[in-house]
Every structure is written in C-alpha cells, then in structure tokens.
Structure 1
Amino acid sequence: MKTIKRMTVVAAGAAILCATGLATAGTASADDGKGPYATCDLSIWDVCTTLYYNSNLQGSHTSFFGSDEDFANDKFMSSGAGKGQGVKNNAASAHYWMRGGETGYRGVIYYNSNWKGPCDAIAENASANRLHNTYNENASTTFGTSVFWDGCYLFN
C-alpha cells in the first residue's frame, strides 16, 4: 500500500512539473524573439540596440533585436544600477550594434511610443554616451534608413 501511495505522489508531482513546463513553453513560443534581452547576440540577429540606465554606457542595460513600439513593459535586465527598473523614460545612453556589410542604417530611439516625437539616431556600431533628445525620456525604438531618422539628433 505504501508503494502505491508513493507512486501516486511521484506521479502527481511529475504531472505538475510537466504542466508547469508546458505552460512556460507556451509562453516562450508566443515571444517574438526580438527582446528585450540582457545582452546582444549578433550570432542570432544582424542588428541590436542596447539601452543603458546610466550615461557613458554604464549601469544595467537591455537589448532589442528589432523594433519595440512601447517600452511600458520592458525592464533593465543586466546587473548594475537600475536593474529591474522600467526602460520607459529611464535610458540615458545607448549603443547600436550591426554586423554585416550593410550601411546607412541607424538605431533610432523615440521620445514617444509608436515611434513618434523627438528622436536620437545612432550610426552602425556607434554609441550615444548621453542621449540628446531622449535622455531619460524614451518610449520606443526601431532601426532603419533615413526615412526612420529624418529630423533626429545624429550620433556617429
């Protein structure tokens, strides 16, 4: 009887673990995979914009492998000052990473959600040690050619 009882407890525990794993897997598969992440992995994506909590690329940071129309639910993820804080209206500096031979693209950070308002545009593999138009006032990001960054403050 004790053996059957133990097997029932073990089976119930395994079922809970499997259900938890499946629920987590379902959530992960719904992710678009474009971030935010703690680091840039250019072996996966060709472009990446990293936002830092402090000036001079210091403090906690978070990376985006594409566009994000609203930072409302994004957090600074790496270790350092600002870890766990919301990204929206808290980024002070940024770096735009790009691999490959394409030119003419910039990482663009906007003051408002939905890629609106004043903006800062960072050249390929360059940094903005202190954002100009969006210093601690930033809500969205994208990347692209001059159509996206016309009128932005340019970092080279």
Structure 2
Amino acid sequence: MQSTVVRRALSTVVALTALGAGVLAGGGTAAASTKDGELELREFGLYYNSSLMGSVLDLYLADSNLADDRFPGYGSGQGQIVDNNAASYFNRDRVVWYVYTGSFAGGVEGSLPANYYGNASATFKNQVSSAYHYKAR
C-alpha cells in the first residue's frame, strides 16, 4: 500500500515537472513573435510612412533581404514590399541595429542606437534593403 502511494506521488511530480517545462518553453517562443505588425520590446521596426505611421515590419532577428518581406498588420503600406519602402524606424531593442541600402549588408551603412526612433535621413528614406542587430560588415 505504501509503495503504491509513493509511486503515485512520484508519477504526479514527474508529470507536473514535464508540464511546467513545456509551459516555460512555449512562453519563450510567444515572446519572440516577429513580423506580425506589432512592434514589441526587443524588436526593431521599419515603418512605411514618416513619423512612425503606417504599417510596421517588426524584426527580432536580422533580415538580409527585405525584398521578400511585406508590411504586415494594418494602416497605409499594408501588403507593400518593405525593400526600399521604409520612411521611419524605431529601435525598441537593447542593442544597436544597422541598416543598409543594399541587400546582404551592401551599400551605405547606418546605425540606430537602442531606443532610437525617428524619420529616415535622405540617404535611407525608402532605401533600406537589409537590417541587422549586429555589425554585418
């Protein structure tokens, strides 16, 4: 009788531990959702219009070729290709992000410090083709 109670208790502990690990693992991926049109902490956003207006492409990881991305979400620019189509940005990440006027870190490089937001300069307005959360070249 006593061994059955101990065995059931151990089974319950093992099951609860496995369930807890699954919940923790699932929570990590949900926090890192990207390219969903909602700019969250630890993401870098490219906006279709100046002054952080219109649709936003939110990046958690680097993107070497924005030609295969479209602005998600809502607002003006929704569905448009991101490459050479972003007029402002917001770096909600804790690290510097780098943007390039060419894909695969080609062309002119610009850097955006953590928590920076604003309109793209004349060099980068509607010219950004790739973005990295590390210096790519």
Common fold by TM > 0.5: yes
Q: Distance in 1 between matches of 2:136 and 2:96?
A: 8
Corresponding residue of 2:120 = 130
Instruction: Note the residue ranges of structure 1 that are not aligned, 5 or more in a row.
Output: 1-32, 100-104, 151-156
Corresponding residue of 1:86 = 81
Corresponding residue of 2:49 = 54
1:1-156 counterparts in 2 under 5 A? 35-42=34-41, 47-99=42-94, 105-144=95-134, 148=135
Counterpart AA for 1:139: S
Question: Do the aligned partners of residues 117 and 34 (structure 1) sit closer, same or farther apart at CA in structure 2, a change above 3 Å counting?
Answer: farther
Corresponding residue of 2:25 = none
Number of residue equivalences: 106
Q: Work out the percentage of aligned pairs sharing the same amino acid.
A: 29
Q: CA RMSD in A?
A: 2.0
For residue 124 of structure 1, give the secondary structure of its aligned residue in structure 2. Answer: coil
For residue 76 of structure 1, give the secondary structure of its aligned residue in structure 2. Answer: coil
Question: Do the aligned partners of residues 137 and 70 (structure 1) sit closer, same or farther apart at CA in structure 2, a change above 3 Å counting?
Answer: same
Q: Is the 8 A contact 1:110 1:117 kept in 2?
A: yes
Runs (4+) off by over 3 Å? none
Question: Do the aligned partners of residues 113 and 119 (structure 1) sit closer, same or farther apart at CA in structure 2, a change above 3 Å counting?
Answer: same
Q: Deviations over 1:58-98 (max 9, x none)?
A: 11111010100001110111211111100001001101112
CA drift of 1:121 comes to 1.3
Q: TM-score if structure 2 supplies the norm length? A: 0.69
Relative to its length, the structure with more strand (as a share) is 1
Q: Distance in 2 between matches of 1:113 and 1:49?
A: 17
Q: TM-score if structure 1 supplies the norm length? A: 0.61
CA drift of 1:118 comes to 0.6
Instruction: Note the residue ranges of structure 2 that are not aligned, 5 or more in a row.
Output: 1-31
